[in-house]
Amino acid sequence: MSDITPRTPRTPDTPLTDRLTHPRYPRSNRYDARWTIENQMGPHALWLLEWLAPALGLDRLRPGARVLDLGCGRAMTSVFLAREYDVQVVAADLWVKPDDNAVRLAQAGVADRVLPVRAEAHDLPFAEGSFDAIVSVDAYHYFGTDDLYLPTVTRLLRPGGRIGVVVPSVREELDGTEPPARLAPHWEPGFWSFHSPAWWRRNWTRTGAVTVETADWLQDGWRDWLLWSEVCAEESPSEFMAGLARDSVDLINADEGRLLGFTRVVGRRI
Ligand SMILES: C[S@@+](CC[C@H](N)C(=O)[O-])C[C@H]1O[C@@H](n2cnc3c(N)ncnc32)[C@H](O)[C@@H]1O
């Protein structure tokens, strides 16, 4: 377990920090690079949340507003939400134990503002209207592509509250049942849960549960994904995570931005 907390690195690691300093993500740049690598579970969660934040209106939430971080993984985004926006966060995840996240949250100095819970996205133990906002970074595609799903989670928002997600995506929906030939060697069945901004807009709009305010594509997001994956492939302390990052490098290099990237979707509860 790392004892690194954001903004207080154990040892300065200037080359790594320089490599991951990104002009598009000034807030994320203030977090310790090793901490983000040690706790990553896929694409750079803080970069994606920082992209989502203005569309979701996180800066406009009142101090102490209640935010659900759904599929928070190792809770880096929960730390970011508490620190950057002064909100109360429920850090909900299925695979990562709340006890593990509790240690990380205490180390990051936000134990008083983030409550870690184990929760399955189809069985969320909260009352109607419990949250001012719901955030989900690189997780919603695991459970949210079901046409019937969105209203089950937006009921947890107060009326007028917003849900915002960022998911790995395709620019346009693929026809047929095979991936493009260039991606076939790297393709996994789970990638069929990647959808386009237009697909997400329609999926959410048709539910009648939200007004979709944003459904757009991260320009050059694949370049961010590639840079981050290259760094994690070299620097991750977990051989398993380094291997997954190498797979991502191969996938993204084969694609060169033609198909794969990220979508953000924001809906306001009706
Ligand atoms: C790729 S990880 C991303 C974690 C984190 N958001 C991040 O970006 O670092 C996906 C997360 O989704 C969560 N997840 C997947 N299916 C879920 C479900 N049915 N209910 C709740 N969480 C789920 C997993 O527990 C996992 O931590």
Task: Convert the chain into a string of H (helix), E (strand) and C (coil).
Answer: CCCCECCECCCCCHHHHHHHCCCCCCCHHHCCHHHHHHCCCCCCHHHHHHHHHHHHCHHHCCCCCEEEEECCCCCHHHHHHHHHHCCEEEEEECCCCHHHHHHHHHHCCCCCCEEEEECCCCCCCCCCCCEEEEEEECCHHHCCCCCCCHHHHHCCEEEEEEEEEEEEEECCCCCCCCCCHHHHHHCCHHHHHCECHHHHHHHHHHHCCEEEEEEEECCCHHHHHHHHHHHHHHHCCCHHHHHHHHHHHHHHHHHCCCCEEEEEEEEEEC
pLDDT at 8 over 90: no
pLDDT tens-digit readout, 111-126: 999 999 999 999 999 9
Confidence of residue 13 (pLDDT cuts 50, 70, 90): confident
Atom of ligand 1 nearest to the CA of 119: 21
Establish whether residue 142 lines the binding site of ligand 1, counting it when its CB lies within 6 angstroms of any ligand atom: yes
Mean pLDDT on 246-250: 98
Ligand 1 centroid to 93 CA: how many Å?
A: 6
pLDDT at position 40: 97
Q: Report the C-alpha gap between 215 and 253 in whole angstroms.
A: 25
Contact 209, 150 (CB under 8 A): yes
Instruction: Report CA(140)–ligand 1 centroid distance (Å).
Output: 8
C-alpha of residue 15 to centroid of ligand 1, in Å: 30
Full set of structural domains in the chain with CATH = 14-269 (3.40.50.150)
Whether residue 167 has its Cβ less than 6 Å from ligand 1: no
For residue 7, pLDDT beyond 70 = no
Predicted local confidence at residue 10, as pLDDT: 56
Phi, psi of 197 (to 5 degrees): -55, -40
pLDDT tens for each residue of 23-81: 999 999 999 999 999 999 999 999 999 999 999 999 999 999 999 999 999 999 999 99
Ligand 1, residue 48: give the atom nearest the CA.
Answer: 8
Cα(164)–Cα(32) distance, integer angstroms: 25
Report the pLDDT averaged over residues 128-135: 98
Residue 5's pLDDT band (cuts 50, 70, 90): low
Share above pLDDT 70 across residues of the chain, in percent, rounded to a whole number: 96
Express each pLDDT in 149-187 by its tens digit: 999 999 999 999 999 999 999 999 999 999 999 999 999
The ligand 1 atom at the shortest distance from the C-alpha of residue 72 is 6
Average pLDDT, the chain: 95
Rounded distance from Cα 236 to ligand 1 centre (Å): 19
- Which amino acid makes up residue 46? L
14 Cα: distance to centroid of ligand 1 (angstroms)? 31
Maximum alpha-carbon separation in the chain: 51
- Please tell me the predicted confidence (pLDDT) of residue 6: 54
Name every residue whose Cβ is closer than 8 Å to that of residue 239 and which is 6 or more positions away in sequence.
none
Ligand 1 binding pocket includes 38 (Cβ within 6 Å)? no
Residue nearest to atom 26 of ligand 1 (CA): 73
Give CA–CA dist 91/134, Å, rounded: 11
Lookup: tokens for 104? 């990380």
In the structure, what pLDDT confidence band is assigned to residue 86 with cuts at 50, 70 and 90? very high
pLDDT of residue 4: 43
Is 103 a residue whose pLDDT tops 50?
Answer: yes
Cα separation, 16 vs 21, in Å, equals 9
Going by C-alpha positions, the residue among 194, 6, 54, 193 that lies closest to residue 17 is: 6
